[in-house]
Structure 1
């Protein structure tokens, strides 16, 4: 799914579908503050709309699973969950930076293929 979203939005927003990636690109000065804020607001609104669609089609599952909210599994602390989120987000942002590096050859850059890979971890 991420592959399709990045591929479809690459020409519009550069494939920005995650606020962490947008924020990272802003910090690297590859994106203006105005554009970063706009993208992050739109990404959050898109997530809210997506949750609404899921709730509309699968209300029983939606409510039975806490509305899709992530929780830390039993046996792990909130610190463990936070650490896992930090590492996962770092890997995602690092992958995007590596895949979109202008110094890489065009044949080396597989942005739509490599970007969703960290999501499977």
Structure 2
């Protein structure tokens, strides 16, 4: 499936070839440190994401609990929980993209 470019009303073949598609699973990748570094980075990122976001939700629930002396105006609120989730996603993608990504 060759891609063609239209120049001046006529089609010309492109001057490069697309590389063949990469395999989904490659046994040689298991021997490289970058593979394990990416796994470790993704694990730590997921752990931090869950830790921060779950603590934000638990903290909010305990701050607004009337049995503990809180009221509805205490805590970070729903918007604060949303900011915690969005901020953690941004930080973790920014920090791990160079390790686990291919860009």
Q: TM-score, normalised by structure 1?
A: 0.28
More helix by share: 1
Looking at secondary structure, tell me which structure has more strand per residue: 2
- TM-score of the superposed pair, with normalisation by structure 2: 0.32
